[in-house]
Amino acid sequence: MFTNNKYLSKEKLNKWAVYAIVIAIFWMKMYFIQGSIFTLGVENANEAAILAFNPLSSIFLLFGLGILLAGRKGLLVTYIIGSILLYVNVLFYREYNDFITVPMLGQVANLAGLGGSITNILSLADIFLFVDVFAAVFLLFYLKSSRFPRFMPKRREGAIMAAIAIPLFLVNLAWAETERTDLLERAFDRNMLVKYIGVINYHVYDIVLQGQTEMKKTFADSNELVPALNYLNEKKTEPNSEMTGVAEGKNVILLSLESTQTFVVDNELNGEELTPYFNDLKEEGAYFSNFYHQVKQGRTSDSEFILDNSLYGLNRGAAFFTHSGNEYEATPEILGENGYFTSNMHANDKSFWNRDVMYDSLGYDEFYGKQDYNVTEEKSYGWGYLDEYFFEESLGKMEEMEQPFYNKMITLTNHHPFTLPDDKKYIDEGETNSGTLNRFFQTIRYQDEALKQFVEEFKQSDLYDDTILVIYGDHDGISENHQEAMGEYLDKDINDYEQFQLQRVPLLMIGEGIEPQESDTVGGQIDLRPTLMNMLGVEDDNPIQFGHDLFSEDRREMMITRDGDFANEDYVGVKDTCYDRETGEEVDSKACEPLFAEAEEELQMSDSIVYGDLLRYLDETELIEEEESDQDEE
């Protein structure tokens, strides 16, 4: 009997040894990925220690639940699920320098369209990220000897492990808050959350946030719209009266240039201009050199959402997917009520980014997608239909449109991984340490040549005199993962300030009544709607707009990014650090504290409108305000 108890004791000891080894292997993988693949900005020894500690609570929770639900098989399944989750984040991070969110999971259909972009971010070395899975299989199912009897975990042991995860996480959180107080309130900063609580714990927290988000719309009421109306009324600035109606009755062509950043304008590679045509074209209209993109995970769809609504995109996922069923009073709907035919042109599948659904919600009359173009293998490369052919066909379609029209064109070719057929390479590759940046120079040069073809043909068409052309970049193409290469090319150190400035995208407006000029006013995509509406002389009754006329001399120069950073006429605020906007020198953080607070308040206001679908109450809220006003007069 004594011998049997001794044997059981040894068996139990060996069993927990297997647990310890499996946990240690997964912990080492998580630590390697978080510390070496993700760029989390560890700044001191305390943060390094937190980063090393934070995987433990999530591992205990994950494995504990697996054992609790299905014993040994459950442990292996959760090990594999955890490995896949880590790897998906690795791929996503390589592409977007960000982490997957629950709303993004609803966009898996987009993966079918990524093509070469996916293969470009895969690496043969990635197979080593799964070697540990085979080790886990061996330990759990095939390791058997007199020293290690068959491994058979018990459900109660899973419950114990899951329970241990709770105090481990509380210790982790308390430790993390010695570096960053109110950490969980900073849901917009996913890099920070992963650095302090780990990638798997971040996903658990993200699920909690998603549940809260779903509840916001269910329990929203009209009273929640009042603070936003008051806030926007307080921030309101008058548009430039001299620009009011200068384009009245004109057509509008919005040309969204894929992944185009301002740093390429007036810049060269090996003595050759990157955008020679655009450099000349910008002298013919109003060019804005301090204009920023404001997108997040929704990328191009975010830029569309911001443009048409003058609302901020979401911090998690894309409104085109998560809130396509909301009620909006968007630009195409308002212009449609004023006699405009409204349309979109994008030679990709209509369902990509849920555009076919969202465009209906925004009030577009027509969407010209891939099936409406003569897309052939000979005319396609990389992401699809080459820009030159897209431009040619699109101009023909516009010439047949009912006028006046409002039409948005979205290009494709200058898209990661930035590849071209040899006969379309009008410039040599770059010579930095980043193949992505080196190829980007070639696709941006090709795009400029295709733009030249389009604009010159447009000038010869009957549309030219009756149309304003707006050309803008949708988002960055070169992420901060390529800072070293950007530093090589620009011959400067790319710190947080410089990286922020690289988020500028070109904006050019050409048409009758628009005087050639270069403006250095600080603005963003959220300002496009009020600017266009004022130029068209259209009465825009929707008071829920966060943008300001870019031509107004009295405008509030405050551009806010989805991360809560900002730029105004004096300062740039990035990650709680304050910089002089002109020099880039760091200044006293107190100068930016109220501006960071303002940025956070504005983003929360916009989010409350989108998450709560509050525009459905707009007429009702306005009616209440009018009734209150009438009562006051009596």
Over residues 358-373, the pLDDT tens digits come to 999 999 999 999 999 9
Q: What is the average pLDDT value for the chain, to the nearest integer?
A: 90
Query: How far is the C-alpha of 522 from the C-alpha of 585, rounded, in Å?
Result: 18
Average pLDDT over residues 464-486: 95
List, in order, residues 6 or more apart from 419 with CB less than 8 Å away.
116, 381, 382, 439, 443
Please indicate whether residue 300 is annotated as part of the active site: yes
Query: How far is the C-alpha of 287 from the C-alpha of 600, rounded, in Å?
Result: 29
> So what's the pLDDT on residue 94?
84
Where is average pLDDT lowest: 28-37, 345-354, 432-441, 500-509?
Answer: 345-354
Query: How far is the C-alpha of 583 from the C-alpha of 46, rounded, in Å?
Result: 32
Q: Do residues 595 and 573 make contact, with C-beta atoms less than 8 angstroms apart?
A: yes
CA atoms within 13 A on the CB side of 454: 29
The answer, yes or no, to whether residue 276 has pLDDT greater than 90, is: yes
Q: Give the pLDDT band of residue 449 (cuts 50, 70, 90).
A: very high
The active-site residue, picked from 300, 419, 436, 621, is: 300
Q: Give the pLDDT band of residue 3 (cuts 50, 70, 90).
A: very low
Return the higher-pLDDT residue of 219 and 253.
Answer: 253
Where is average pLDDT lowest: 8-17, 52-61, 104-113, 506-515?
Answer: 104-113
Query: How far is the C-alpha of 168 from the C-alpha of 161, rounded, in Å?
Result: 11
- B/e letters for 300-320, b = 16+ CB within 10 Å, e = fewer, are bbbbbbbbbbbbbbbbbbbbb
Residues in the chain: 634
> So what's the pLDDT on residue 297?
86
Q: Give the pLDDT band of residue 327 (cuts 50, 70, 90).
A: very high
Q: Give the pLDDT band of residue 353 (cuts 50, 70, 90).
A: confident
Q: Give the pLDDT band of residue 629 (cuts 50, 70, 90).
A: very low
Task: Please report which residue ranges of 310-364 form alpha helices under DSSP H.
Answer: 319-322, 331-337, 355-362
> So what's the pLDDT on residue 110?
54
Average pLDDT over residues 411-423: 94
The answer, yes or no, to whether residue 307 has pLDDT greater than 60, is: yes
Q: Which long-range contacts (CB under 8 A, 24 or more apart) does 487-491 make?
A: 488/432, 488/433, 489/269, 489/430, 489/432, 489/437, 490/263
Average pLDDT over residues 139-166: 77
Average pLDDT over residues 36-41: 89
pLDDT in tens, 548-563: 999 999 999 999 999 9
Where is average pLDDT lowest: 1-10, 168-177, 423-432?
Answer: 1-10
DSSP 500-567: HHTTB--EEEESTT---EEE---EEGGGHHHHHHHHHT------------TT-TT---EEE-TTS-EE
Question: The dihedral of CA 285, 290, 294, 298: what is its sign?
Answer: positive
As a whole-number percent, the residues of the chain with pLDDT over 70 amount to 91
Query: How far is the C-alpha of 456 from the C-alpha of 465, rounded, in Å?
Result: 13
List, in order, residues 6 or more apart from 595 with CB less than 8 Å away.
558, 566, 568, 571, 573
pLDDT in tens, 193-237: 999 999 999 999 888 888 877 788 888 898 999 999 999 999 999
Q: Give the pLDDT band of residue 584 (cuts 50, 70, 90).
A: very high
Q: Do residues 165 and 61 make contact, with C-beta atoms less than 8 angstroms apart?
A: yes
**335: number of Cβ within 10 Å:** 24
Where is average pLDDT lowest: 8-17, 356-365, 576-585?
Answer: 8-17
CATH number at 243-548:
3.40.720.10
- Best CA proximity match to 467, nearest among 326, 287, 341, 630: 341
> So what's the pLDDT on residue 215?
84
Q: Give the pLDDT band of residue 377 (cuts 50, 70, 90).
A: very high
Average pLDDT over residues 518-525: 97
Residue 339 is which amino acid?
G
Tokens standing for residue 144: 């058997």
SS3 (DSSP) at 117: helix
pLDDT in tens, 481-498: 899 999 999 999 999 999
The answer, yes or no, to whether residue 117 has pLDDT greater than 70, is: no
Domain segments of the chain as ranges:
2-216, 243-548
The answer, yes or no, to whether residue 118 has pLDDT greater than 70, is: no
